[in-house]
Amino acid sequence: MSATVKPAATDKKQAILDGALQLFVDQGFHGTSTASIAKTAGVATGTLFHHFPSKEALLNHLFVVVKQEFADSLTHSMTQSLSPINDKEASLEQLITDIDFHTSNSISADVNNAATLKSSANKLWQHAIDWALLNPTKQKFFLQFSLSSDIDPEIRSQAMNSILHFIIELIAKGQQLNIIADFPITLMLENCHGQYLAAIRYFTDNPQWGHDKVHREASFELFWRSMKL
């Protein structure tokens, strides 16, 4: 008789993250208990606390993990040469460092040509929208928690600056080429993030337009015109 194979620690951790994602989206952070997360994940409450010391720590880790997956998807759309980040046991700091390495090393080559600056930005924008449409629960998590006070401000700032590193490069290059307005980059970065959240909320509320070419191109033009001279 074969022995029962116990789930690996990484599988349990992933189950906790998956359960937390669904419950946080459905019930909100304060409406979700650690006991309900453990039950949904099929693990003991003690197992949850083994991986995450608190519900707040779990939320912050989940925030970075979802941002990481988004970054992996965008970098994959620009290059096939980098392998994805798969270390589920990595710390928050290592996840953020890995995001920054992947984005800065895969996107920079695409923003060095003035003739392709706008097309590169459009490609990234459309892929970002596609990712949101293909991952509705994670999209809702973005909308619900990207600006939430429940996320540690330092974690949010680090993750956002890393995940949008390629946008910083795009803005800086566009400013050098006198294509993009010479406003403070940090302010423009916040505007870019707000434009993206507004676009995915629109397509969430109006799913019939999610794959409509006119609406998709218009969403990019609104984003682009908010930055260009």
81 & 135 share domain: yes
Same domain for 97 and 201, yes or no, is yes
Q: What is the mean predicted confidence (pLDDT) over 193-209?
A: 93
- Domain of 72 in residue numbering reads as 60-225
Same domain, 41 and 82: no
CB 26 within 8 A of CB 17: no
160 contacts 193 by C-beta, under 8 angstroms:
yes
Nearest to 111 by CA among 100, 103, 102, 121: 121
Do 31 and 102 fall within a single domain?
A: no
Whether residue 78 sits in one domain with residue 116: yes
CATH number of the domain encompassing residue 77: 1.10.357.10
Neighbours of 145 (CB within 10 A): 21
Residue 119: CB atoms within 10 A of its CB come to 11
Q: What are 3-38's pLDDT values in tens digits?
A: 433 456 679 999 999 999 999 999 999 999 999 999
Same domain? For 102 and 137 the reply is: yes
pLDDT digits (tens, 9 = 90+) for 162-196: 666 777 888 888 888 889 999 998 899 889 889 99
- Whether residues 49 and 72 share a domain: the answer is no
81 and 25 in one domain? Answer: no
CA distances to 114, 163, 173, 184 from 109, in Å: 12, 17, 11, 23
| Same domain, residue pair 106 and 213 | yes
Residue 85 has pLDDT above 70, yes or no: no
Q: One-letter amino acid identity for 6?
A: K
Residue 17 is classified by DSSP as H
Domain count of the chain? 2
Integer CA distances (angstroms), 40 to 10, 142, 227, in order: 16, 21, 44
Q: What is the mean pLDDT of the chain?
A: 83
Strand partners, 90: none
- In this structure, are 84 and 68 located in the same domain? yes
CATH number of the structural domain spanning residue 27: 1.10.10.60
Amino acid identity for residue 132 in this structure: A
For residues 92-101, give the mean pLDDT: 52
Shared domain for 103 and 210, answered yes or no, is: yes
Same domain, 64 and 129: yes
**What percentage of residues in the chain have a pLDDT greater than 90?**
52
The secondary structure of 133-182, three-state, reads: HHCHHHHHHHHHHCCCCCCCHHHHHHHHHHHCHHHHHHHHHHHHCCCECC
